[in-house]
Amino acid sequence: MNAESDERTKVADPASATGEADREERELGSRAPGFIKASKALHLSWQVGVFVVGLGVVIAGVLMLVLPGPGWLVIFGGMAIWATEFVWAQLVLRWTKRKVTEAAQRALDPKVRRRNIILTTVGLVIMAVLVGIYVWKFGLTMPWKISE
């Protein structure tokens, strides 16, 4: 027999004690209003509409990857639109959110921050040395104005 009760395990979990797990793990499935879910034809047309709007937003985001604009942000916005209706999009967004949170926590690690600061400083020193060599060799004239 198990000596621990479910309540003790639930309270011992820090995520459930703060309520984050309950809020994060929302029920999967359609979030359409009840009157739309009541009619199969209306629900199907609702899903088609959500899919078309989400597809338009995702396509706009993909175009913004090569054109000016916040491409990835718009793509995730389209995924969020799809996630209001489709389970697969909800699962993709949960996975993405988990990975982004893990990356943010790794970036805040003092060892990683120290390494990033050192690499940035070394890169800036190398760039300054290259610019100094260029100015010493060619002066302040730009390469397209050098006369030989």
Read off the pLDDT of residues 3-47 as tens digits, 9 standing for 90 and up. Answer: 444 443 444 444 444 455 545 566 777 777 777 777 788 888 888
pLDDT in tens, 94-121: 898 899 899 888 878 888 889 989 999 9
Closest-CA residue to 54 (of 89, 87, 30, 28): 89
- The average confidence (pLDDT) of the chain is 79
How much is the pLDDT for 6? 43
Residue 88's CB: how many other CB atoms inside 10 A?
Answer: 10
Instruction: Please give the pLDDT value at position 61.
Output: 92
Question: What is the distance of C-alpha 131 from the center of its chain?
Answer: 36
Contacts (Cβ under 8 Å, ≥6 apart) of 89 = 54, 79, 80, 82, 83
Report the percent of the chain where pLDDT is more than 90: 30
Place of tokens 């050098």: 146
Percent of the chain with pLDDT over 70: 77
Angle at alpha carbon of residue 78, lines to 22 and 19, rounded to 5°:
10
Cα 123 to Cα 9, 115, 129, 133, distances in angstroms: 49, 12, 10, 15
Query: 83: exposed, middle or buried (C-beta count within 10 Å: 0-12, 13-18, 19+)?
Result: buried
pLDDT at 46 (0 to 100)? 85
